[in-house]
Amino acid sequence: FTDTVLSFSFNPFNSSQLAFLSPDCILFIDDFNPNKIPSSNGRKFYISSPRVDSEDNIRTRDRFKRLMKGLVIGESKPKAEDVMTVSECLQLAFHKSLRHHLLLLYPRDILLIDLHINQTVGIVSIDEAISPLVQIVGTRQRDVLYCLHESGSISLKIRHKPNMNTILASPLDMPTESISSIDVGGYNSESYMCYEHKCQSEVIRQMKGSKVLAMSVDPICERKAVLLLTSGKLVILELEHVLGNGGTTKALSLSQLFGPSTDESCIIPPVRLLATATLNAIASSLTVIRMCPPLTTRNKAHYTPLMAGGTNSGIIQIYNMAQGTIEKEFSIHNFPIRGIEWTGLTSILSYAYSGQSGRVRNELILTDVMSGQSMSIRSDRPDENPIDVVRASPLRQYFVVVLKDGPFELWDLKNLKLLRTMPKKFPFVTALEWSPIHSVKSLQSKKKSLTDDQP
């Protein structure tokens, strides 16, 4: 193609039809085939909106009609003074429940275009107080639009006839001879399609610098949506029916939630979008990782392969290596984490300090990864040499703290008490590792003695 392509969308009712969004036009291909080059460069359409008086004496309905008359200009480039052009369009998508209809997303408007008559048949605008739109996703089972906002919230728009509180079902639920009855009558300047704002989810709390990237809707049930943030975090939301007593009910699909309404007698029930789960991403600034103790015959009944990771911001993440998910996340340190040592299958020792050299403030914390409870160790120490090594004994009874260019300390892990500090004349320790051989021999001797004592 000679034009720059920004995005594209397949027609869900005809896989050979494809629409491309370009900086200044929309390009249509009617004979797409993955095994054959299209017969032409496609058909171009330019879209614009004439200037409209914003005086208070102009009624909203009249202004809406004037917008609908002049929005689509077929195959001829619009004039420079036109207000709205394709260059402002954020997304292009075929409607999933209406044939021959195209959705165009702008920061504060959604345009619905009938491709048979090249006419705009509906405009959905949002209030100035609401965050601008980022993405729109249509549904197949019902004429419902999921709209993603910059703030991270999702709003739900449901199509209905003017002055009526009925939802129009998808053409897939209707007999073929009745499909034309839901297309808002004959197409003329007086006919238009309305979408009602039904509900909106709460704004997603984001970290500094984090933004909303995209949204996806479950293609099977069309009742669940997932948000993706630039931090890698996933937020899962579900559409629920709100009962009169304040409770909620969960339907299996969108069609079960609203029900067919081809007879225009079904009232739209009150619904809400509720965040039900979050999936965090691995931090991008990992400084250390440490695997939990290995699987043995004694712990195989309750063993879970966990790995701990520390970050520059003082956060510890616990990863389930069997499922590939983040189990827990703890913000316990004020400085970059320098090391992690497992003291069992469910507890870790982590240490951090402020500077790179010289005398620093050390942080040594014991954390239970199941409950999140943490306890600070050596918190009463003044500025000293940074901690270089922390190692726990094989039987998890003791642990050693080694200071850089300084003496090392032996601690009781069970009571968290200092047992001994080596004198200054003791040689500096640069590396340390516990030997498991002696502990194995002692265990074997104890077992043997217990066996000998038995009658």
Residue 371 and residue 320 share a domain: yes
Q: Residue 280: its pLDDT value, please?
A: 80
Out of 264, 279, 294, pick the residue that ends a domain.
Answer: 279
Residue 350 and residue 254 share a domain: no
The number of CA neighbours under 13 Å toward the Cβ of 229 is 23
Structure-block tokens of residue 179: 């499909």
Q: Residue 303: its pLDDT value, please?
A: 93
Q: How many domains does the chain have?
A: 2
Q: Residue 333: its pLDDT value, please?
A: 92
In whole angstroms, give the CA distance from residue 45 to residue 24: 9
Out of 279, 306, 333, pick the residue that ends a domain.
Answer: 279
Residue 327 and residue 362 share a domain: yes
Domain enclosing residue 320, as ranges: 286-421
Q: Residue 379: its pLDDT value, please?
A: 86
Angle at the Cα of 409 from the Cα atoms of 406 and 412, rounded to 5 degrees: 170
Identify whether the C-beta of residue 256 lies closer than 8 Å to the C-beta of residue 263.
no
Helix then strand count (H, E) for the chain reads 3, 31
Calculate the CA dihedral of residues 366, 371, 372, 375 and round it to 10 degrees: -30
DSSP structure string for 146-166: EEEETTS-EEEEEEE-TT--B
3-class DSSP assignment, residue 69: helix
Residue 327 and residue 272 share a domain: no
- pLDDT tens sequence across 192-225: 678 888 889 988 777 777 788 999 999 999 899 9
Q: Residue 83: its pLDDT value, please?
A: 43
Tell me, what CATH number does 53's domain have?
2.40.128.630
Low-confidence ranges of the chain (pLDDT < 70): 1, 47-87, 161-192, 244-248, 259-267, 437-444, 446-447, 450-455
What's the gap between Cα 82 and its chain centre?
Answer: 37
Q: Residue 143: its pLDDT value, please?
A: 87
Residue 297 and residue 269 share a domain: no
3-class DSSP assignment, residue 241: strand
**In a domain? residue 106:** yes
Residue 233 and residue 124 share a domain: yes
Tell me, what CATH number does 353's domain have?
2.130.10.10
Structure-block tokens of residue 389: 């090594």
